[in-house]
A and B are shown apart, each in its own frame.
Chain A
Amino acid sequence: MTTIEFSVNGKPVSVALDNEDTPLLDVLRNDLGLMGTRFGCGLEQCGCCMVLIDGQPEKCCAKPVSSIAGKNVTTVEGLGTPDAPHPLQQAFLDEQAGQCGYCLSGILISAKALLAVNPSPTRTEIALALDGNICRCGSHNRILRAVEKAAAVMRVRA
């Protein structure tokens, strides 16, 4: 058993594991009960499992949890709640940006990371930032609109 400590959405956590190479995604879902980060491929190809690690967007389905020790992880649960939604979440609701919605957790995280470095992205810049996220349902244009809208809201608030 190895014990690994890190923080998730601002709270310190400690997990004891037989296999310290367990992917962070499995730890989030199975040990910490945070189901918002989704499994899509386990191959770092689809972006469903995108989280922020010390502010950087990273796919966590193949990332050994041991490599996260001492770091800060942000998941979609850390963005906002129905009562206090993050501007991105509000914009996704307003634009009805999604069909099955399985891709959305990862896309919201990628978008948050983009807006942190580029508060006024063009449609093309948003699209390029989301190229690591697959949406199979074809909700792309709504998602792009929602990110543009959230960016505008956040610029006003900033």
Chain B
Amino acid sequence: MAGSDTTAQESADRSAPDTVKILIAGGFGVGKTTMVGSVSEIAPLRTEEPLTLAGLDVDDLDGVEEKRATTVAMDFGRISVSDDLVLYLFGTPGQQRFWFMWNDLALGALGAVVLVDVRRPRTSFAAIDFFERRNIPFVIAVNGFYGEHPYPAEDIREALTLPEGVPVLLCDARERESSRDVLIALIDRLIAQAAPAAPAG
């Protein structure tokens, strides 16, 4: 390999920071937008994406007008992890008919946070199922509305019949530190999975 190639490659590496992404999933109203907003360094950006018919479960919808009007909102957040590393957060609705978007988003994602509303855990079943089926690492973040956590993590693990090893965290999606700790828990899990032979610590 020529030396000039190496130099060009190095300068390309410098100008474009590495980017990694984490998905924030869960049912409607569980606090996805809130979490992306609390931990992102930029105000959470929202983008409306018109849905194409190809992506829809056609039986789901009644009229053509309604299909045309359907858009999906995506939350987008960014954390500059270091000078040369940026973490993107993507939050998207958890309904099954939006899974085609998740398929794209999940490509190259480090993993996912599945938010669970402590009062309505079932609304996040579909999201859990999605990541489980695709072998995408995820952690469960139980959003205790009103800052309360009436159930211990173990109860929620049982109620959701989670596979062993999936961390369950109690969080407050409104709190930056709490949301950050959820992301750290996901990364810790990924690190543990990436280095199963290495002793912890």
| Same complex origin of A and B | no
On B, residues with C-beta under 8 Å from A are none
By a beta-carbon cutoff of 8 Å, the part of chain A in contact with chain B is none
